[in-house]
């Protein structure tokens, strides 16, 4: 049997695979380590090394990657730049995603300032808010739009992903219009459970609520 090459073309039909959220999370972890390792001039990395640096096991690394093809050579490890490139493709990061920030309040402006999204190909092409005092102000290279024009802005800017940072009570109305605007991916910071059609994907980020869950856990165990 011929030796399997690096990044052999065994890619499965990913559309049919049911990949767990935790697997996708680990792919992101692996990618970060591979990129840092590659930047440091290292060419190969074993599954043990990759596991150690991402807080998982070598068996888990091999299992996760085997879902997408055959990477690496027994005894030699993974070719760092090639695997990084494959992971970017698997994660859909080999392209730019057009992002609208809906809600220009405290979280929205912190996210805009943070700047960590663009680095990964998530470009904020629109910011929208309901506050007349904010509409028309300039954020970086974006002019803040009136949320009453939401659907039109989403379509005009061909927005792929909405980052939702509005108050809970504004969500039902705005969410319907985000979906009507053709957006199929939402990163939700609003403190509410979003109900969306099955072809729309939602990921939640609730920083303060994670702290509240820590507070709850510490209180439970007698942490006074």
- Measure CA of the first residue to CA of the last residue in the chain; give whole Å: 64
Residue 180 binds to a copy of itself (criterion: CB under 8 A) = no
Q: Which is nearer to a copy of itself, 102 or 171 (CB)?
A: 171
Query: What is the phi/psi pair of residue 128, to 5°?
Result: -130, 145
Strand pairing partners for 97?
122
Measured over the CA atoms of residue 28, residue 188, residue 159 and residue 126, the dihedral's sign is: negative
Q: Which of residues 91-110 bind a copy of itself (CB under 8 A)?
A: 91-93, 95, 97, 99, 106-107, 110
- Name which of residues 193 to 222 contact a copy of itself (CB under 8 A): 193-195, 199, 201, 203-222
Q: Does 76 bind a copy of itself (CB under 8 A)?
A: no
Q: Which residues pair with 77 in a beta bridge?
A: 73
The least distance separating a copy of itself from the CB of residue 221, rounded to whole angstroms, comes to 7
Site for a copy of itself in 103-142 (CB under 8 A): 106-107, 110-111, 113-117, 119-122
> Minimum Å distance from CB 65 to a copy of itself?
14
Angle formed at CA 168 by CA 167 and CA 172, multiple of 5 degrees: 115
Structure-token pair, residue 24 = 């996708």
Residue 103 C-beta: closest distance to a copy of itself, Å: 13
């Amino acid at each position: 049997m011929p030796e399997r090459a690096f990044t052999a073309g065994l890619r499965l039909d990913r559309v049919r695979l049911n990949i767990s959220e935790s697997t996708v999370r680990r792919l992101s972890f692996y990618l970060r380590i591979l990129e840092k390792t590659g930047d440091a001039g290292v060419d190969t990395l074993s599954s043990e090394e990759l596991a150690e640096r991402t807080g998982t096991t070598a068996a888990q690394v091999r299992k996760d990657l085997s879902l997408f093809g055959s990477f690496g050579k027994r005894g030699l490890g993974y070719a760092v730049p090639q695997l990084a490139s494959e992971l970017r493709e698997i994660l859909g990061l080999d392209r730019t995603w057009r992002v609208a920030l809906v809600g220009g309040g405290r979280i929205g402006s912190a996210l805009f300032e943070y700047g960590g999204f663009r680095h990964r190909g998530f470009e904020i092409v629109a910011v929208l808010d309901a506050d007349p005092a904010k509409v028309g102000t300039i954020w970086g290279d974006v002019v803040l739009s009136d949320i009453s024009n939401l659907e039109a802005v989403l379509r005009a800017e061909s927005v792929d992903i909405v980052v939702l940072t509005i108050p809970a009570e504004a969500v039902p109305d705005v969410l319907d219009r985000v979906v009507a605007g053709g957006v199929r991916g939402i990163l939700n910071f609003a403190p509410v459970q979003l109900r969306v059609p099955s072809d729309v994907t939602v990921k939640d980020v609730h920083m303060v609520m994670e702290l509240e869950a820590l507070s709850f856990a510490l209180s439970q165990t007698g942490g006074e």
